[in-house]
Amino acid sequence: MTAAVTTQQAWGVEQRVALLTPVPLFAVLPPHARQELAQRFHPRKFPRSAFVFHEGQPADTVHIVAAGRLKTVRTTNDGHQIVLRLINPGELLGVASGWGGGLYSTSARTLDPTVVLQLPTQVFTDYLDRYPSLAQAVINDLGARLREAEERILDAESANVEMRLARALLRLTTLPTPAPPATTIALSRQDLGDLTGTTLSTASRVLSSWHRRGLIFALRERVEILDRAGLTSIAKGS
C-alpha cells in the first residue's frame, strides 16, 4: 500500500507501475495500458499540512495518492472549516471536483508527508474513452462516494454529536476491506470535529468522556478504539 517512496529522483518504469498496480480503479486496465498510463503520471511530494490545490482553482488535474493522506476541506464564510473527505493511498482525487472545465469545489490538504501522482484531466478522459471498463469503474467509485455523502447528510441532519462521532470512528476503522477492522485513528480533535460538523471543544469533551468510560484510549492526534460494541451502541443512539 504505502510503497517505499521517499526520494524525489529515480522514478523508474517498474517503480511507476508498482505505484499504479495497487490502485483498485486501474485493476481493470490491461497491463500494457497500465504501464503506458504510469508513464504519464507526474509524481510530486508534499510536506505535512501543504495544499495540493485550492478551492476555485481550475480543475485540470487528476491526482492519485501514492503515499500519505489527504483531506478535502471547505471554509465557510464565518471561518468554519469542514472536512469533506479523507483520501488514503490508492484513492483518486479531482475526478468529480470539476469535469467540464470547471473549478475545484474544495481545497485538498495533506495530513502527512504525501506523494501524489498527477495527470492532466484531458489524458484521463482519453483513457475513459478508450477503456469502457475504466469508465465503469469510475462510475462505481463515484456511486460509492455519493452513497457515503448521503450517509453523511443523514448523520448531519438527524444525529447528535455523540452519534456522529461514534459513527465516524467506526467508519474510519472499517473502510473499505471486509476483513479486520483497524483500531487506530490518526486524526487531531480539530480534524475529527471538522469531519463531524462540530467544534474542537465538543469533540475533545466527548472523547474525554469516552476515554473515562473505557470505550477508547485518547491521546494526542490519535484515538484507539477499545470497545467497538460500546461505540456501535452509541452510534445507533444508545
Partner DNA sequence: TGATCTCTTTGCGCTAGCACAATGACGCCA
Partner DNA sequence: TGGCGTCATTGTGCTAGCGCAAAGAGATCA
The percent of the chain in helix, strand and coil, each rounded to the nearest 5, is 45, 20, 35
Return the C-alpha cell found at 3: 510503497
Select the residue interacting with a copy of itself from 48, 54, 80, 222 (CB under 8 A): 80
Select the residue interacting with a copy of itself from 21, 57, 105, 174 (CB under 8 A): 105
Residues in 128-187 at the binding interface with a copy of itself, rule: CB under 8 A: 128-130, 132-133, 135-136, 138-140, 142-143, 145-147, 149-154, 156-159
Candidate ranges 24-32, 34-42, 176-184, 206-214; the one touching DNA (CB under 7 A):
206-214
Choose the contact partner of 143 out of a copy of itself, DNA, none; CB within 5 to 8 A by kind.
a copy of itself
How far is Cα 180 from Cα 173, in angstroms, rounded to an integer? 9
Residues in 190-219 at the binding interface with a copy of itself, rule: CB under 8 A: 196-197
Q: By CB under 8 A, is residue 7 in contact with a copy of itself?
A: no
Using CB atoms within 10 Å of the CB of residue 226, give its burial: 0 to 12 exposed, 13 to 18 middle, 19+ buried: middle
How far is Cα 195 from Cα 236, in angstroms, rounded to an integer? 18
Q: By CB under 7 A, is residue 204 in contact with DNA?
A: yes
SS3 27: helix
At residue 217, what are phi and psi to the nearest 5 degrees?
Answer: -115, 115
How far is Cα 145 from Cα 72, in angstroms, rounded to an integer? 13
Choose the contact partner of 221 out of a copy of itself, DNA, none; CB within 5 to 8 A by kind.
DNA
Choose the contact partner of 101 out of DNA, a copy of itself, none; CB within 5 to 8 A by kind.
none
How far is Cα 22 from Cα 58, in angstroms, rounded to an integer? 28
Residues found near a copy of itself in the complex (CB under 8 A): 74, 76-78, 80, 82, 84, 95-100, 105-106, 125, 128-130, 132-133, 135-136, 138-140, 142-143, 145-147, 149-154, 156-159, 196-197, 236-237
